Chains A and B, each alone.
Chain A
Amino acid sequence: MEHITKRFPGTLACDDITLTVGEGEILALVGENGAGKTTLMNILMGLYQSDEGRILINGEEVRFKNPNDAFSAGLGMVHQQYMLIANMTVLENIALGYKAAWSPLKLDLAKVRARIIEISQKYGLSVDPDAFIWQLSVGEQQRVELVKTLCLGARFLILDEPTSALTPQETDELIVLLRRMKSELSIIFISHKLQEVKNLCDKLLILRHGAVVYHGSTVDHSMADIAALMTGHEVELPINEEEACTGAVVLDIKDLHVRSDRGFLALDGFNLSIRCGEIVGLAGVSGNGQRELAEAINGLRRVETGEILFYGEDIANKNPHHIIESGMGYIPEERNIEGIVPSFSLKENLILKDTERDEFAHHHFLKQKAIEANATNLRVKFDIRSPNTSVAAGSLSGGNIQKVILAREISRKPKFLLAVYPIRGLDLGAAEFIHHQLLEKRREGIGILLISEELDEILDLCDRVAVIFKGKIQQVLERKDANRRKLGILMAGVSDDQTL
């Protein structure tokens, strides 16, 4: 790609970007959210057209009017969200896109099957063609996406944050796999995780505010250098080094039983207490009751038995409004659909919990000026990058949406904060910002429960670490006793290991 430039109203999304990928090479594309990575890839895949610049494949200039043109030129993209149909088999999913097996009257499934077997043997990607998608783990689904893209004849792969939803083990497997595959293919690897970038990629392209700040080999730079180039300043994820707090217990969960959507007990005798001025990390592989816990605390899910004492009051089965009013702050897991109303503007989202307050309403009439002033203020204070305060919140990038939620929750001056996967999928700059804010709140004496699967995040921030497994607490460790290995063993459900 040469001199690619793309303008959007109010922003220059890509500013004269040039990049090259050779055969058998893996190029890492890194940059903060909103740096122009996605736009650049959309141009490459024919979803957008660039305003200036051209794309060359094997020295020949190509023009992609739409994604189909890009597919037929051998480009394939695996998106962050997998595009698979859950109640169809792997074979059927792949057949959907494999037009060579289609004829007006017949779908040649045998041909598709042969192709899948051929591809999976060639690249060492094992998939079961007859498994249903819903039966597969996230890592396996990703393999299906890879096989699908390769079956369609891709010689050039774009992987958009392929590791963001994977467990550490699955991530390692993927990296080994990609290394093996690279001899046959060219790959662009988009990621926020610099460790993976260093491990896997030969070359590196760093974008900042739509422009290239570095294009060259990976070995020349340390991880800290790369992070600094990405953000434009030195990045240091903050670490909690202060003494553990011994304040009063503010949230005390006793023998909690909560059912999941599918009816089984997702929390089965869960106990945990959090004092003010401390951060307690809840580590665990997702799906062990974390979602149900967060929803139960916030009144969004029915509690079967047990108590949730919040400043002495049992808030189990109270309505969400009551719990919010008693001082609970909540950063939900699903930031795009639960944390914000996507079609509402930025300023409207910032008052989601406060429409009844005198600050924003007078005799039930909203005070437009106060709402605007509040948004203008928070937008600067929390570094929310948006053209103005009236844009639809859903159109912002993930990091900015998270900042909107954080701004709202923190500016409400909560007495407690529950943060669920607060930096999942965010770039370093945004993660740094959010961690700083959480530590700041801790210093102010607020109790924080941090639910996360990122062990680094937990070890950096928490005073105590609790490990959840199948709806129960395995063990609660002081920070000085916690390390990656110990947590990993506990998260896997082993609690009587002698080495602990």
Chain B
Amino acid sequence: MKLSGAQIFIECLKREGVEIIFGYPGGQVLPIFDKLYDAKLKFILTRHEQGAAHAADGYARATGKVGVCLATSGPGATNLITGIATAYMDSIPMVAFTGQVKTNLIGNDAFQEADLTGITRPITKHNFLVKRTEDLAQVIREAFYIASTGRPGPVLVDIPSDVQIKEAEFIWPEKITIRSYNPNYFGHPGQIKKAAKLIEKAKKPIIYAGGGIIISQAEKELKILAEKIQSPVTTTLMGLGGFDETHPLSLKMLGMHGTAYANHAIMEADCIIAIGARFDDRVTGRTDTFAPYAKIIHIDIDPTSISKNIRVDIPVVGDAKNVLRELVEFITKKPDTREWLKTISEWKARHPLKYRKTDGIKPQFIIEEINRQTHGDAIICTEVGQHQMWAAQWYKYTKPRTFISSGGLGTMGYGMPAAIGAQLGCPKKTVFNIAGDGSIQMNIQEMMTAVVNKLPIKIAILNNCYLGMVRQWQELFYKKRYSQTPLCNPDFVKLAQSFGAIGMKITRKSDVKQAIKKALSIKDKPVMIDFRVEREENVYPMVPAGEPINKMISGLA
């Protein structure tokens, strides 16, 4: 059967099980958009290509499926870049399609030409420039396979417009094998046995779990391991929801803004079981002082993550779910951790997360109230900054895929489009975007996308009229010289209304509960709440950059 490149594109996406494409049309993708006109594929028109990339990413994080976005050549494609880099840093399965100028014009500085495979090489897991229509089906198949297997990541497929028009025999490759790409899903049994022996002898174990738990759907296996060896569990920002934070063994998040008890515990531990985490600098603090007494077991599907920042004693390359299953089997003697758990409960009692209650609206209180009213069951998307850390600290995450945030790249403007992707992927869930007044303005145009698609996203702006996190650093480390951090903002209520959404402004603490209740009752459009919070509230605890991870500023001491 002969099909045009554009028809092959549609046919391949259907066979890959794609439900939604996020994107924006343009000159070099006209043939594809023409075929999309009749295709039974849901297309979400964002208002900016960056929004399309983040929405595809948010959809992928909320559902576990591959997110798909589509943009034209040149500026359309370069607008995807921040979204692709965001997905790359957080290992999110995504396939980004871009139009390209005709093959005979490539390299000629043609109108709306940019070398997208060149630009995206360091921020994609892999990328392709398709030069022949005959290759298109094979490339798309490989792109989805690479994006979703091993350590997932974004893959870019650049398709010149003549390749979309030309016809070729459509051959769907049923099976895909790439000789140079064979992810290791099962850990080496010898290494897993060694890990089991080390755990059996541990007195002060700690499980340090990252986003790999969520990607590999290993939350049950993680719980079984933790309960079997009675080890406390701390998660990274990306790992939030991978372990139930209401479980007695949970230490919540560790790192720069983690709980004091998680940071003390990892520094005092004699055995760290790292799973699907990468010892990021926001977690380790100063590396030469990190966890001085611990032997480290590191389970990760990506060998380059192992011994990159911190020297590891027992590396296990494999998929978290498979490795954890085997590890639990190999552990025959349970370590005695009673003393250790006693110490930890003392830390928990002595250094709980806290904030000073006043008459003003505390941002932490808003998150607590959202948690209470949604019973910890909402999907919480965030932008980047103070509000992101408060959302991480004060909401109680109990299930995977409920915290959606740009962890690695730290992309302001991520949350609004990500919430759109999450809500479309999970229509029955309550989706919040916890935002700052700075971040929300970075992709505010996507309010229109949410309104058009009748998405009942709740946007809670923790508005302090500052770029709060930068201001906090300026307060603590730059003598309160607030260089370019005070913000002049639009009237968010009118802004929301102009998009056709509901806007609320809350200035009194006593109105917070009612506002959230009202927002939750609206089911057919977005609600934006402008919470006027105490302006100079800081995120604590905090570990200053470059300090050991247990040297925290508490703010309340």
Whether A associates with B in a native complex is: no
A interface with B by C-beta (< 8 Å): none
